[in-house]
Amino acid sequence: MCSGGTMYSGTVDWNCIIIFPSADMATSKLLNSSLRRIVFAFPTPTNCWIIEQDDGLTLVDCGTHFNHGTIFSIIKNYDKSLRRIIITHAHPDHAGSAARLALATGAVVYAHELDVPFLTGQASVADMPGTIGARLLHGSARALGMLDPPPVKHVEALKDNDKVAGLQVLHTPGHTPGSISLWSSDHKALFVGDNVRHWLTGIKLNFTWFSLKPQELQRSCERYREFPAELILLGHGAEHRTKTAVADLLD
Ligand SMILES: [Zn+2]
Ligand SMILES: [Zn+2]
């Protein structure tokens, strides 16, 4: 039984939901026996996921730079160590805790080769080519020191169709040059990063003004049709369970 919805100071029901009294006010719940969603409330509800496998844990995205403590707290409850951190794209709300988590756990950080320079500190997200709106937004965030995630020492570069931890890597650029999506056949789940957003009761492509190359994003998401997803996992907002969501989003 799920006991979610009530505020507690501490762990409530490990299998269902935890609410931490920390600054990032995270909630966490199992989507199935080997897949956990963590939601950070601030500055906007943002997701990351833990996949439990025989050889250890894989984290998909890792929140902002101040979310690492909560991720540690959750990982501690597993009897397995964190082996990998896969970053869907180099924005600071998805890659912010990668450096500290990798340093503390020895986990290997993975990202698409085109986003690697933004994670290792060799380039700024603000220098990515793209729409005027997105560049203005990125430029302002950089001026406030809120744009680039803390640099990760080493990032393993991924390419389209690579496999990591049983997940198929899809290079789906547009939101950033190296945005990836991940297909988990075990969970019939597509991790779509920020390529997709919630819209009324369904989902849609993300706002074009917020993506560096909107037409590229549209083409990227056409690939989702290849996968019989029943679970769409977005960077922000609740998981979406459906068998027709991908077609709805593209038509
Ligand atoms: Zn995001
Ligand atoms: Zn993003």
State the distance from the centre of ligand 2 to the C-alpha of 91, rounded, in angstroms.
Answer: 5
State the distance from the centre of ligand 1 to the C-alpha of 91, rounded, in angstroms.
Answer: 7
State the distance from the centre of ligand 1 to the C-alpha of 244, rounded, in angstroms.
Answer: 24
State the Cα–Cα distance between residues 211 and 213, nearest whole angstrom: 6
CB-based contacts of 70, cutoff 8 Å, min separation 6: 20, 22, 24, 26, 38, 40, 63
Q: What is the fold of 16-250? A: Metallo-beta-lactamase; Chain A (3.60.15)
State the distance from the centre of ligand 2 to the C-alpha of 89, rounded, in angstroms.
Answer: 7
Torsion sign (Cα): 42, 47, 53, 56 = negative
Phi and psi at 59, nearest 5°, equal -105, 130
Domain residue extents for the chain: 16-250
Give whole-number Cα distances, 210 to 111, 138, 213, 214, 218, in Å: 20, 10, 9, 8, 13
Torsion sign (Cα): 35, 150, 109, 11 = negative
Q: What is the pTM of this model?
A: 0.88
State the distance from the centre of ligand 2 to the C-alpha of 60, rounded, in angstroms.
Answer: 14
State the distance from the centre of ligand 2 to the C-alpha of 117, rounded, in angstroms.
Answer: 16
State the distance from the centre of ligand 2 to the C-alpha of 67, rounded, in angstroms.
Answer: 16
pLDDT tens, per residue, the chain with 251 residues? 333 332 323 333 444 444 444 567 889 989 999 999 999 987 788 999 999 999 999 999 999 998 999 999 999 999 999 999 999 999 999 999 999 999 999 999 999 999 999 999 999 888 877 777 778 888 888 888 888 888 999 999 999 999 999 999 999 998 889 999 999 999 999 999 999 988 877 888 887 666 677 788 889 989 999 999 999 999 999 999 887 777 777 76
Torsion sign (Cα): 171, 174, 175, 177 = positive
State the distance from the centre of ligand 1 to the C-alpha of 10, rounded, in angstroms.
Answer: 27
Is residue 215 within 8 A of residue 202, CB to CB? The reply is: no
State the distance from the centre of ligand 2 to the C-alpha of 184, rounded, in angstroms.
Answer: 21
Is residue 36 within 8 A of residue 30, CB to CB? The reply is: yes
Using alpha carbons, select from 178, 186, 208 the residue that is nearest to residue 91.
Answer: 178
pLDDT of residue 103: 95
State the distance from the centre of ligand 1 to the C-alpha of 1, rounded, in angstroms.
Answer: 31
Ligand of minimum distance to the alpha carbon of 94: 1
pLDDT of residue 15: 42
Give me 200's structure tokens: 């009324």
pLDDT of residue 245: 75
